[in-house]
Amino acid sequence: MATPSVGRVVHYVNEAGVHQAAIIVKVWSNECVNLHVLPDYSDTHEARGKTSALYHDEGPDSPARPGSWHWCEYVPNGPKA
């Protein structure tokens, strides 16, 4: 696993199970960080802080856990236009 550091972009899983972009603002340990969750502007939610968010590595046997964070999924470059 990569080491979290201030300024890194991660995904935060909100209470509805939706992944949102977030920036690490404080590192407590390799698995516990404070985040600034970015709004998607599709509703009235404002940007907000989340404290002591715990890392959760998603996988086929381990679905998203609301209130957790994980590294952004790798998306390879598509074909060039």
Instruction: Give me the pLDDT at residue 32, please.
Output: 95
What's the token pair of residue 51?
């404290």
- Domains of the chain, by residue range, sit at 9-68
What's the token pair of residue 66?
């609301």
Q: Distance between CA atoms of 46 and 31, rounded to whole angstroms? A: 25
Instruction: pLDDT tens for the chain, 81 residues: list them.
Output: 789 999 999 999 988 888 899 999 999 999 999 999 998 777 655 668 888 999 998 777 778 899 999 998 888 886 766
What is the pTM for the complete model shown? 0.80
